[in-house]
Amino acid sequence: MNYLKNFSAWCYRISTLPLLIISGVVFALFMALVLPAMAGGLSEITGVTRSPDTSFIYKAEELYAMAEAYGEDGRAYYIYTRFTFDMIWPLAYLFFLATSLSYLYKPLVCQKKAWALVNLLPFAGALFDFLENSAASLVMYRYPLLTPVIAQLAPGFTFLKWLAIGASFAALALGVAGRMRKKFLKLSD
């Protein structure tokens, strides 16, 4: 636990306004340019729009159904993108969310210890994203052979990924609201 506190404190120390701006630009560029280009690739090859990555809740049987529907070329494309593009995308949103949360919550850390580790939420999201990509890719690679344990774990990783990312964005919204409230209260004094 001490390691987490030290790492969180380091994130607070390095999160400056210039780093926040850089992380926001990187995130915005990915959202505007890279994500739309990547989103259509799988559906063009397979004709299928559903993916484990964009699902919130699914079962192992549904993962196998996706593997079947993708076909051999679709599965190869899926695996390729998980270990190219989808290695960089989690780093982009991690960079943005961790920097933003650290920057926004820095003033509160001294006052409220409960919020101190909020800046680590995005790291959990990225970790579960990488685990999800690895598990789903292994299922796709081995298909039509079954991969029972990994196929059961993949949906759990996906669910935890979305939970951590959703919590990160919720904390981001709360942080922005808190900062705006503080500025408003200063202006009204």
From CA 31, how far away is CA 23, in angstroms rounded?
Answer: 12
pLDDT number for residue 134: 96
In three-state secondary structure terms, 136 is helix
Contact 51, 66 (CB under 8 A): yes
Give the whole-angstrom CA distance, residue 143 versus residue 23: 38
Cis peptide before 52 (omega within 30 of 0): no
pLDDT of residue 170: 97
Quick one: pLDDT band at residue 42, thresholds 50, 70, 90?
Answer: confident
Give the CA-trace dihedral at 95, 135, 164, 118, to 10 degrees.
-60
pLDDT at 111 over 60: no
Q: Is the whole model's pTM more than 0.85, yes or no?
A: yes
pLDDT tens track for 44-84: 887 777 888 888 899 999 999 999 999 999 999 999 999 98
For the cut 60, the answer to whether the pLDDT of residue 19 exceeds it is yes
Q: Is residue 109 predicted with pLDDT exceeding 90?
A: no
pLDDT number for residue 171: 95
Provide the 3-class DSSP secondary structure of residue 150. helix
Rounded to an integer, the average pLDDT of 128-133 is 96
pLDDT of res. 44: 82
Q: How confident is the model at residue 169 (pLDDT cuts 50, 70, 90)?
A: very high
Please say if the pLDDT value at position 128 is more than 70. yes
Sign of CA dihedral 124, 129, 134, 136: positive
Which residues span the domain enclosing 85?
2-188
Cβ atoms < 10 Å from Cβ of 146? 11
Domain count, the chain: 1
